[in-house]
Chains A and B, each alone.
Chain A
Amino acid sequence: MSSILILGKPNSGKSLLFNRLTGLKQKVANFPGATVELKRGMCGTLELIDFPGVYSLTAMTKDEEIAIAGFHQSLKDEKIKSVICTLDITRLERSLVFGLQAQALASEYKKPIIFALNMIDELPQKSELSVEKLTKLLGSPLYALSAKTLEGVDEFKKAIVKISNSPNDYLPQGEMYSKQKAVVRAREVVKELDLGGVFFIKNQTQIDKFFLHSFVGGIAFFLIMGLLFQSIFTWASPLMDLIEEVIGQLGVFVTSSLPAGIVSDFINDALFGGFGSFLVFAPQIMILSFIIGLLEDSGYLVRAALICHRPFSYFGLSGKSFIPYLSGFACSIPAMMAARVIESPKKRLITLITIPLMSCSARLPVYALFISAFVPEEKVFYGLLDLRGLSFFALYIFGLLTALVVSAVLSRVNKKEVMDAPFILELPPYRLPAFKPLAMRALHATKSFVVKAGPVIFSVTAIVWVLSYFPYGAGKLESSWLSQIGHFLSPLFQPLGIDWRYGVAILASFLAREVFVGVLGTLYGVEGADENIASLAQNIQADGLTFASAMALLVFYAIALQCISTVAMLKKESGSSKIAWMTFLGYSVLAYFLGLIVKISLS
């Protein structure tokens, strides 16, 4: 099978063109041992390989180093018939610097390069673009197109097939310009074309006056982030309810057709109960991915990173850390995937380690339980604010502040010299995003989340189920192996003022936090505690749990990394199981001792 590489600068519309050429069928794989992704898809009988966008063939970060080594490696392959390089018409000079370097590289390996001059829909009508002149100046085939409006894409498809069938006829002609020479040549080419690139800058600067304004820009930032936050919780809610209902009904249907016993119990509790509760989060991941994609493609995400950079840098983070942090309020798993945008390896690692401190949606049921049990339903500040709402907010802020403090400590402790990237951001123009590719990306991210985290969740769910089911079977949780472990560890939980039942619930929730309420409900004999938090809260109050212990538990839950899929994801993204397990252990110890301090202080 013949293959074609797709290269280009970030924001040159490379991925959108790849999506347009390959449609929905894509495979994503990482370079061995790295988070750098390679996407593969078919365009007719040709395989297209989409490389990550890089600014230059001189690497500045570890990921760029891996990607550039990958270009060289791939170009040696006989299977690779040609190279596509996307050029952004609105940033032609900068695009050409990379384009000319890529052309020199392709020429070195005797491969043709096809330039895709993208975003021609953004050219002002009065501009005259001479494709022939540019093709002649570059010495390689060039096609003007718009991956967004599909203008010129069919013609481009035919051209890549033709060129890949007889690559030797299309090898780069004339002088090749590698490294620094490409900078000078790009300048000369653009000067000869006289496209008036400054037009785009003027438009962009006008909008930036608003979004980067010291006061108005700040308000816009908080409004946009508020909308994102709202979307995670509110818009995802009907879909989450629907999935929960479908899984519940499916569970009833399947188990009712099975004889009562261990198989039926396992399918009901572990498969539909445990694994099913994980699937409920899929809509949140989808909506979050869609909105982040929308912000990214519109050009706002870079501006938001810019606004956050200075305040975040006090804590050893990058401005780009704020998106993973924000995503972390929904779920740590997509948040860790979002951290890939941070070029600096050190800052990305610190961000990855601190993401689990954001109060994810799985913590909500635990917060709701203890707040409804111990915080009175009262209005404060002249009836404007609700005390319980404020308590929720305080817990979110507590998580964020802890993350910032931990980041500051980590950045000062780890002063080891690493190949780190300084904060140099290219500001793309503002653009209206294309809906379909955005929706495809969101679906892909959701599928990837379910496929990658699913097996881990299911395995641990099965283990916890076995521990809670045996040796006496269903309805005997108090005498199960899990309970025995809880009793054995009860001296550990005693200083927090909680008994073995909370210990069992905490142990079970190391699988996933949301399990806590369900397990505690079972131990207190409350049916459907997940949906009936008020009844469980009454039981907890009546049982004599003190306010100090409840607050200690809340602090414990706000910090502890009780999510096995997050640990698995941290291991994958950091490339180190040591980092993942040290983080797990570190947060468990920190959560315990901070909980203890709260208990002692409030007692």
Chain B
Amino acid sequence: MTVKTSSLWDIAEKQTALIEDLDHSLEICLSTRLKETGFDFGQSVTCLKKLPLNGPRLYQVADSVFSIEKSVAEKIYIKEAK
């Protein structure tokens, strides 16, 4: 099943999505860091874990796992989620 969603924050646990774009309001150094980290156009990202109280979430991208807080994850747009 393919579900249209808007940001990385919206995907459910164990769901995978492809990165569409990064919000253009992000500071250049932050968007560069995110791209270098693997949150770049066309890359596949899986949500591994959601922490309580809207805490940072765990995302797997390539061979690494990152925890990202809501304010950043909401600015990473995804194309699709499976």
Contacts and interface: CB of A to CB of B under 8 A. Distances in A.
Contact of A55 (B33, B53, B63, B71): B33
A97 B36 contact: yes
Interface stretch (A197-205, A253-261, A447-455, A532-540): A197-205
B66 to A, nearest CB: 5
B53 to A, nearest CB: 5
B31 to A, nearest CB: 10
Given A58-B36, A214-B52, A306-B51, A425 B63 contact: no
B69 A426 contact: no
A90 B71 CA distance: 29
A183 B35 contact: yes
B69 A309 contact: yes
A56 B36 CA distance: 8
B53 A201 contact: no
Given A55-B37, A183-B40, A423 B67 contact: yes
Interface string B55-82: 1101010111111110110000000000
Contacts of B58: 208, 212, 427
Given A56-B36, A422-B72, A310 B67 contact: no
Contacts, number: 108
A94 B43 CA distance: 14
B36 A55 contact: yes
Contacts of B72: 422-424
Contact of A201 (B32, B36, B49, B63): B63
Contact of B67 (A55, A93, A182, A306): A306
B12 interface: no
A103 B13 CA distance: 37
B30 interface: yes
Nearest to A422: B72
B73 to A, nearest CB: 10
Nearest to A302: B67
A603 B52 CA distance: 44
A179 B40 CA distance: 13
Contacts of A97: 36
B54 interface: yes
A201 B65 contact: yes
Contacts of A197: 62-63
Interface in A174-199: 179-180, 182-183, 187, 190, 197-198
Nearest to A59: B29
B33 A56 contact: yes
A166 B72 CA distance: 47
Contacts of B67: 306, 309, 423-425, 427
A208 B48 contact: yes
Contacts of B38: 93-94, 183
Interface in B2-59: 29-30, 32-38, 40, 48-49, 51-56, 58
A426 B62 CA distance: 12
Interface string A406-426: 000000000000010011111
Contacts of B56: 306, 309-310, 319, 423, 425
Contact of A423 (B35, B49, B68): B68
B81 to A, nearest CB: 19
Closest 10 CB pairs of A and B: A197-B63, A310-B55, A423-B69, A427-B65, A310-B53, A425-B67, A58-B32, A93-B62, A94-B64, A60-B29
8 contacts: A56-B36, A93-B63, A94-B62, A197-B63, A306-B55, A310-B56, A426-B65, A427-B58
Given A208-B58, A310-B54, 18 more contacts: A56-B33, A56-B36, A58-B36, A91-B63, A93-B63, A94-B38, A180-B35, A201-B64, A205-B65, A212-B49, A309-B55, A309-B56, A310-B51, A423-B56, A424-B72, A426-B37, A427-B58, A427-B64
